[in-house]
Amino acid sequence: MSDGSSSDPVHCGFKLDRLAAFSDGVIAIAITILVLGLEVPSVHEVNPSQLVNYVRESLHPTMGYVVSFVVIGTFWLEHYAIFHFLNRATRVLVALNGLFLLCLTFVPFPTGLQAAYRHDELAMVFYGFSLFLCGLSLLVVWLYATWNHRLIHPHIATAVLQSMTRRLMIAPALCLIAIGCSFLSISLARLILLSIPVFYISQRTIDQGWQAAPAVDD
């Protein structure tokens, strides 16, 4: 005879607080590493008369930093939204979340690569593909958690879940479009990647479930 408490979907599995805190810390470190790619020269390397040219040359890596910062921030926002609707975690969710963090912490490398090889299509493709993996892995986390309401509050409407699924598909789709456009125009590819956060600004159906989700704690 099974213990009745073990069948309660709200109390089975791991708590989310440490997993969320760990994820936030890793994402914060990834963003911090991004700025380390921006070098400040000493006066012995660049004298005052050369400073204007150096700043002009630094605009490209700075733009790469801004794009990556904004996109990673967008991924964090969607990760935060996902965890708002979760009521527990499993070992599989922890592993999938770890895969997402693995992809995200790798982003500083292709960011620096495409900044150094600014006119190289391969560097841009590599950068776009790394962001695609971030978006895809985050989508997998959501799909696993919501399959048959596996790890989410049972009363959340299907329309809300579908809205979030469509929302998480935007970033991977735009990354693939940017990868294709990089062979035509690298600047256009960067603009497409920078447009990713724009699609997350407006209120969506998913936002309607924010106030309702904690109600199952009673």
pLDDT in tens, 171-196: 999 999 999 998 898 889 988 988 88
Residue-wise burial string across 153-182, b where 16 or more C-beta atoms lie within 10 A, e elsewhere:
beebeeebbebbeebbebbbebbbbbbebb
Highest mean pLDDT among 25-29, 33-37, 117-121, 203-207: 25-29
- Residue 55's SS3 state is helix
- Top pLDDT among 83 and 52 is at 83
**Rounded distance between C-alpha atoms, residue 124 and residue 102, angstroms:** 20
Provide the pLDDT for residue 180.
93
- The answer for residues whose C-beta is within 8 angstroms of residue 160's C-beta and 6 or more apart is 205, 206, 208, 209
Q: What tokens does 180 get?
A: 């294709």
Give the mean pLDDT of 47-55. 63
Provide the pLDDT for residue 7.
46
Side chain identity at residue 53, one-letter code: N
Confidence of residue 1 (pLDDT cuts 50, 70, 90): very low
Provide the pLDDT for residue 64.
79
pLDDT in tens, 137-159: 999 999 999 998 889 888 888 88
Give the mean pLDDT of 34-56. 64
Q: What tokens does 169 get?
A: 């598909």
Contact (Cβ atoms closer than 8 angstroms) between residue 189 and residue 164: no
Q: Is the pLDDT of residue 54 over 80?
A: no
Provide the pLDDT for residue 158.
84
**Rounded distance between C-alpha atoms, residue 211 and residue 205, angstroms:** 12
